[in-house]
Chain A
Amino acid sequence: MNKTFISAFVTGLIFGIGLLVSGMANPDKVLSFLDLAGAWDPSLALVMAGAIAVGLIAFTLVRGRSHSLLGEPLRLPTKKTIDRRLVLGSMGFGVGWGLAGFCPGPALVALGAGELKAAVFVGAMLAGMGLFELLEHRKPTTGQPAKSH
């Protein structure tokens, strides 16, 4: 099997275990972090800090490179503009995150742990993503040739 497929699998596995270790896979803990006015659990700020500390090293190492260690082209986002889509999309995501305490990665981990509620969330999330694809790739219906009889 292609080496990049194995590394993708192992990366996903480590990512998922990291979510379990950190407490991010537990919506109750996530909501305790987001509840500044309640009994606040600051733990998840340290999850971000730990992740970014390691991530900074990696993204500094790849600066100036064109290919990964496995010879794959380096695909970094090129978009620089801060537009309405970015801000409104992120704001909408925060609302969904705050409603249930799930973001995409932890929801997948909880699904893997056999949580039925996580399966419902992931199903709805996939529907939302599918809806986005439909809206993005909707073909203009005006000016199309009429159906032949």
Chain B
Amino acid sequence: MTIDWAAFTPWAALAGGALIGLAAAMFILLNGRIAGISGIVGGLLNPQAGDITWRIMFVLGILLAPAVWLLAAEMPSIQIDADYPLLIIAGLLVGISTRYGAGCTSGHGVCGISRLSPRSVIATLAFMATGFLTVFIMRHVLS
């Protein structure tokens, strides 16, 4: 293993992580809910009366984050190398699997581990493992 020290951004990573943690903290303390993106978005696809507006407001907040960011700074690089067919396959897989597995990086990885949930620890280990494996196959086996 070689570490790419030039790409390593420890302070930005910690600060951004702390902001993500702050959002998770605010959501449980104020709204009494888990800030899990796949669950929040997925719930909009089976809408229940009285359970829609907060989800839309949360998603709007995320969608408008770049616009608010631009008031203060330049947009950071967002480099998407995957082509369209791959994006569609990846999107479908992420959509169905996060609902099937009841969470993603935010719900299991951040909130679940923060509340020491064994289910979320297992889920996080599982998606990290297949994430590492998938990139290994894509970059070092298939290409």
Contact = CB atoms under 8 A, between A and B. Distances in A.
A141 to B, nearest CB: 20
A113 B21 CA distance: 22
Contacts, number: 494
A146 interface: no
B135 A35 contact: yes
Contacts of A105: 37, 62, 104-106
Interface in B3-57: 3-4, 7-10, 12-35, 37-38, 41-42, 45-46, 53-55, 57
Interface string A71-100: 011111101111001111111111111111
Interface string B42-83: 100110000001110111111111111100000111111110
Given A10-B61, A85-B102, A97-B127, A92 B93 contact: yes
Interface of B is mostly: helix
Among B15, B126, B138, the most chain A Cβ lie within 10 Å of the Cβ of B126
A76 B22 CA distance: 17
B68 to A, nearest CB: 6
Among B3, B29, B132, the most chain A Cβ lie within 10 Å of the Cβ of B29
B61 A21 contact: no
Among A55, A90, A105, A113, the most chain B Cβ lie within 10 Å of the Cβ of A90
Interface of A: 2, 4-29, 31-32, 34-59, 61-62, 67-70, 72-77, 79-82, 85-105, 107-115, 117-118, 120-133, 137
